[in-house]
Structure formats: structure tokens, C-alpha cells
Structure 1
């Protein structure tokens, strides 16, 4: 024997989902804009000594940190941020669909999938850009002290796995949503 849920609890549950979706959507939009702006500001305007300290290289290596080197470092630092920002913008569209009560529709599925792709791409590009950035920051180092630093952490490996799994789930949901929308047209 099944009992029907009271309509009031369904409405309250839908309202909680809508509220959390909206709050999370706004946070995703703010972060999507703030990350690239913060990267541009930091790498574009921070004193060379600050950059050297953060990169754990001697400040003397950056005494001749010219505009070209700064622009290249800024571009490399932004390389992993941009796909993440795109993914966050796509997540915002998925969360808007959640807020509207359409969590299993095509917009929600593709938004979640694209967010996962953005996380995965960010993680891969972080590995590449970090290595290239170490070369740019050691550009003016004395002979024999130039660096190529490759950093892989457990966090990066976990984010690769999470990004890959969520991408697969997003693709599956997008396929299911497309089939459901196609079938709805025949009825």
C-alpha cells in the first residue's frame, strides 16, 4: 500500500531545490567572472618579487621581468581558468533549469556535462600551464638553473576522475533527455 505525500511537503521540497539552485547559480556566475579577473589582476600587476615568492624562485630571476614575459606568464596562468569559467557558466544554465523544476531536461543535462568537461579541461591544462609557467619564470635564471617543474597532486588526479565520471554521466543524461524529448513529440 502506498501513501501519497502531502502536497505541502512536495511544494516545500520544490521550493528548497529552487532556492538552493538559485543561490548556487549566482555563486557559479560570480566565480566564473571573478577567477579570470583575479588572474589577470594578479599576473598583470603584482610586483615581480611577489610572483617570485609565490613561484618559489629567487627574486633575482625576475629582476628583468619584462612586458612580454609578464604577458606570457599571464596567458599561461589563465589557460586552465578559462575552461573552468566556461564550465561554470554552463553549470549556471543547468542550475536555472533545476530552479525551474526541469532537472532531467536537455538543458540541465548538457549544462552539467559541459561543467564536467570544463573541470576536466582545467585540470589537464593546469598540469601543462604549470610546467610552461615554470619555464617562463626561470627564463632569466643563470645558466644551469632554468627550470621545468611538473607538478601532479592527488587533488589533480581526483579532479580528473571526477571530471571524467561527471562528463560520462552528463552525456548519458543528455542522451536520455534528447530521447525523452523526441518521444514526447510523438504523443
Structure 2
């Protein structure tokens, strides 16, 4: 390699390290915020009215909206569980993409742990998309469970968020599998040389 090519490669690797290091710490902060906000919402939903919220505050799931004070505690705990699951899945996805950036920071592009983290990130996103898809009908049913029979509702919605996470998760899953195959081929080629 010429000196120019070596310098360009060193610059590229330095940029990759720098950006990956920044993203690793950015995702660490985001993950911390997700956990804190998720815990706050779960605890708020599980507590009786007037401790962290007023009874007149509204909660809405999909297109169903009710006053917090009108929802029995058992239903709020079930809704809190659904909320906690969503935040747990987001935090898990953040953790796995953080691991990818951590490995990229150390220039471990084709390390099996890096590729496993890419595949895991895809899986977490797909699971989140599925949970997000079913959370609207389940959440709206939980929100209206105590109402008389004619006032109960199940709201089924599909929006861009679910589709985005499903497509991105699938892309990351396939991308991880392809990189894993490329790493195996590269390893086989090294053995021939």
C-alpha cells in the first residue's frame, strides 16, 4: 500500500472509532433515560390516585381515552405491565446496538460478538414491533374492561412506527446473517493462504 492509501485508511478508522465512541455513550444516556422514564410511568400507573397524578389526568391508548381516577387499580397495574414491557424492549434494543458501536470503536467489524449483537438488535426490534402492534388492542381492552358491555372497546391500529421497527429489525437481522456468512468466508480464505 502506498503512504496515501495508508493515511486515508487511518483517517477512516479514526472517524469510525470517534463516531462509534460517541454513539456508544449517546446510547448509554438514551438507555438510562428510557429506563428512568419507563420506571416512572410504571410506578405512576401502579400508585393510587393523587400521589403522583391527579384523578382528572387522562390516559389514552390508541384512540381510547379515560380519566386516571376512573380506572381501577388492577387495570392500571396491567397497563403498567404492558408499558413496562415496551420500555424493557426499547432498552434491550438500545443495549444491543450500543454493543455494536462498542465493538466498532475497537475496530472489531467481523468479530462473532459484533455480528451476534447486530442479529440480536434486529430480533429485539422485531419483538418490539410485534408487542407495539398488539399493545393497542390489548391496552384499549384493558382500559375499558370495567365499563358496561356496550362501552368496552378494542382499538386495532397500524401505524408507521410498527412498520418502521418491523422493517428495520428485519433488515438488521438479515444484515447480521449476511455479515456472519461473509466473516466465515473470509476465515476460510485465510486458511487457504
Place the TM-score, normalised by the shorter chain, in its bin.
Answer: 0.7 to 0.9
**Relative to 1, partners in 2 of residues 1:181 and 1:29: Cα closer, same or farther, differing over 3 Å?**
farther
Counterpart contact for 1:119–1:159, Cα < 8 Å: yes
Q: Output the CA distance in 2 between the equivalents of 1:155 and 1:4.
A: 47
Counterpart contact for 2:96–2:121, Cα < 8 Å: yes
TM-score (norm. length: structure 2): 0.80
Give aligned pairs, total.
184
Shift of 1:136: 1.4
**RMSD (Å) for aligned C-alpha atoms:** 2.7
What's 2:65 paired with? Answer: 57
Counterpart contact for 1:106–1:178, Cα < 8 Å: no
Correspondence 1:1-187 to 2 at 5 A: 5-45=4-44, 47=53, 48-52=55-59, 56-59=64-67, 62-178=68-184, 180-181=186-187
* Residue segments in structure 2 that go unaligned for 5+ positions in a row: 45-51
Counterpart contact for 2:61–2:140, Cα < 8 Å: no
* Residue segments in structure 1 that go unaligned for 5+ positions in a row: none
TM-score (norm. length: structure 1): 0.82
**Relative to 1, partners in 2 of residues 1:186 and 1:30: Cα closer, same or farther, differing over 3 Å?**
farther
Q: Return the structure number with greater strand share.
A: 2
- Structure 1 range deviating more: 158-167 or 93-102: 158-167
Q: Output the CA distance in 1 between the equivalents of 2:133 and 2:37.
A: 20
